[in-house]
Amino acid sequence: MGVRQLMWKVIIADDEKLICRLIETLIDWETLDMEIVGKAENGLEALRMVEELHPHLLITDIRMPGCDGLELIRQARELSPDIEIVIISGYAHFEYAKTAIAYGVGSYILKPVNQAELNKTLQKIVLRLEERGKRERTEEDRESGQSAPQRRREELLRDLLEGKREFTEEELAESYQFHICGCQLQTFFLKLDLDGEELSNPARTIIRQKAEEMFQATVLPSCTEGALFLRNFAGYGLLSYPPGEQDRVRHSLRELLKQLEANKSLFGKVEFTIGLGRPIQEVRELAGSMNTARLAAEERLIEGRGRMLEDVPPDSSLPKQAILNRYTKLVDHGIDIIDGDTLRLARESLRAGVLAVSRVRGREIFELVLDAGKIFSLRAGSSDEAAQAFQQRCGQCGRTELLFRELEQLHTQVLRELKERQENETTRPIRMAKQFVQENYGRNITLEDVCGAVGFSSTYFSALFKKETGEGFSKYLTQVRIDRAKELLRETGLSVAEVCEAVGYSDRKHFTQTFHKMTGVNPAEFRRLYG
């Protein structure tokens, strides 16, 4: 049996980078089961992405270079007739937005983008996508003979995880075809750890298929009803069974884990753990039971992977805030001086704080490392992409030492960005000054002219230029002029006087003296020798 499309794919198109970034950061995309697969700065780029990536949703501006929004929408519709489209329009272009309705655009939002409005719009789109998906799955069920009730049970799990609402026993039966009358309920959490490794799309497909097959073969025969929903390297399971069958169900889950472990060679570098939620009788307790299952799985950081965990020990005496305070102090210093050794001391301080506490919980370690990464990213002003990637990789780590390794990688990456940023900030005025000289050496330019172009005082710029280039600015300007004079003497028929004027000298005698000093010959002799 197949598994629902994991994420709805989104492309954002706007020639204003800040708008793209704003849209990206305003929304909790994962909660909506959405992911941004592409950002385009013009219509042609967006169209290529639509053709290659087959998104479910396109968010676009009306006015863009290359191919404007209206033309993009028209062509995108031809490529993908079912694509959802949201227009982001400035007030001046409101008429364009209205025109776009004729192309089947269902939603438009005026700039400046309002978070609540955008989120509400996206929620409506998700509902439309889900309804369309249900119709398509119904048709697939009809053609393939797959179980419609099983699909509805998967939808139950997704709705439960998203906390959309509380359920009643009657609703479970009528809306989701999940019957629990007189039965006990059991949740479980199947965690997949990649330990920082990449997993190809074919490997993901194999994991989903095999996990479903093994679940049906090992667990479902022990239950009255059962469902497994796989998303983001985790499986969420819900079972119902007659009272007194708890041990049998537990045994079947262990068998599922055993089979997954035995077939790891099919999947790549993947480790499995099952967290078992507490058995319940009341439907209203489902969310709490699932949370217990997830917390139990977090203990794999302490207890190890490849096993079924069901106990959620109480919190330890970990002084989280004190540990983070010491870490933050070292991080701030390391960022100020851009020093990797200081950041290493910060990580060691973090680790020492954890090791000093007995019976520390896996969840506590996980949250501590995540918070440490967030603090560092904020302090360093690193990109959102780096912070998000760090959080995602941590979620795929099944051992404590791997969490700290991910933190080390984050420190290393951001420190490298800081060094590059510092170097760019230092060398940028030098590059600007050199460019100014190359474009204006034929004029009577002065140090003050150059400093005005780069925005620095003459004193500071002179010191900076000498530090970065190893020579004074005046010497550099002279070298540029004489090098150009040599080219003109070799390659043109200009007189010495004309060359003198062309490279920025108003006094021929001064030019000749300078040329002789730099080359060892006067201009006329240079032409005879090399012209």
Higher pLDDT among residues 224 and 5, named by residue: 224
pLDDT, tens only, 483-505: 999 989 988 989 999 999 999 99
- Burial of 60-72, coded b for 16+ CB within 10 Å and e otherwise, reads bbbebeebbbbeb
What's the average model confidence in pLDDT over 347-353? 95
Q: Measured on CA atoms in the order 263, 266, 268, 272, is the torsion positive or negative?
A: negative
- Burial of 370-380, coded b for 16+ CB within 10 Å and e otherwise, reads bbbbebbbeeb
Is pLDDT at 395 greater than 80 in this prediction?
Answer: yes
CA triple 149-151-155, angle to 5 deg: 115
Residue 432, CA atoms < 13 Å, CB-side half-sphere = 16
DSSP letter assigned to residue 113:
P
Give the integer Cα–Cα distance in Å for 477 and 122.
58
pLDDT, tens only, 314-345: 888 899 999 999 999 999 889 888 889 999 99
Count other Cβ atoms within 10 Å, centred on residue 179. Answer: 15
Q: What is the pLDDT of residue 1?
A: 32
Give the CATH superfamily of 441-530: Homeodomain-like (1.10.10.60)
Question: 4: pLDDT confidence band, cut at 50, 70 and 90?
Answer: very low
Higher pLDDT among residues 10 and 269, named by residue: 10
DSSP letter assigned to residue 396:
T
Maximum CA extent, the chain: 109
Is pLDDT at 129 greater than 90 in this prediction?
Answer: no
Q: What is the pLDDT of residue 103?
A: 63
Tokens of 161: 């995880």
How are the residues of the chain apportioned to helix, strand and coil, as percentages rounded to the nearest 5? 65, 10, 25
* Phi, psi (deg, nearest 5) at residue 57: -140, 135
Question: 145: pLDDT confidence band, cut at 50, 70 and 90?
Answer: very low
DSSP letter assigned to residue 60:
E
Q: What percent of the chain has pLDDT over 70?
A: 89
Is pLDDT at 117 greater than 80 in this prediction?
Answer: yes
Kind and range of the H or E element at 474? Answer: helix 473-491
Q: Domain boundaries in the chain? A: 8-136, 148-309, 320-421, 441-530
Is pLDDT at 144 greater than 50 in this prediction?
Answer: no
Is pLDDT at 217 greater than 90 in this prediction?
Answer: yes
The answer regarding whether domain 8-136 maps to CATH 3.40.50.2300 reads: yes
Q: What is the pLDDT of residue 247?
A: 93
Single-letter code of the amino acid located at 380? A
Is pLDDT at 287 greater than 80 in this prediction?
Answer: yes
Give, in order, the Cα–Cα distances in Å from 180 to each of 184, 225, 283.
7, 8, 9
pLDDT, tens only, 293-307: 999 999 999 999 999
Residues 190 and 207 sit within 8 Å (Cβ to Cβ): no
Residues 47 and 73 sit within 8 Å (Cβ to Cβ): no
Is pLDDT at 275 greater than 50 in this prediction?
Answer: yes
Q: What is the pLDDT of residue 293?
A: 94
Single-letter code of the amino acid located at 337? I
Global model pTM greater than 0.85: no
| Residues ≥6 apart with Cβ < 8 Å to 124 | 107
CATH topology of domain 148-309: Alpha-Beta Plaits (3.30.70)
Question: 456: pLDDT confidence band, cut at 50, 70 and 90?
Answer: confident
Residues 13 and 43 sit within 8 Å (Cβ to Cβ): yes
**Which among 378, 359, 364 is positioned nearest to 321, based on CA atoms?**
364
Q: What is the pLDDT of residue 136?
A: 66
What's the average model confidence in pLDDT over 514-523? 93
Question: 2: pLDDT confidence band, cut at 50, 70 and 90?
Answer: very low
Average pLDDT, the chain: 85
Max avg pLDDT among 18-27, 215-224, 379-388: 215-224
Q: 92-96, 141-145, 283-287, 369-373 — which is least confidently predicted?
A: 141-145
pLDDT, tens only, 74-106: 888 888 888 999 988 765 455 555 566 666 676
**Which among 331, 299, 333 is positioned nearest to 315, based on CA atoms?**
299
SS3 of residue 213 by DSSP: helix
Residues 237 and 255 sit within 8 Å (Cβ to Cβ): no
What's the average model confidence in pLDDT over 274-298? 90
Q: What is the pLDDT of residue 179?
A: 80
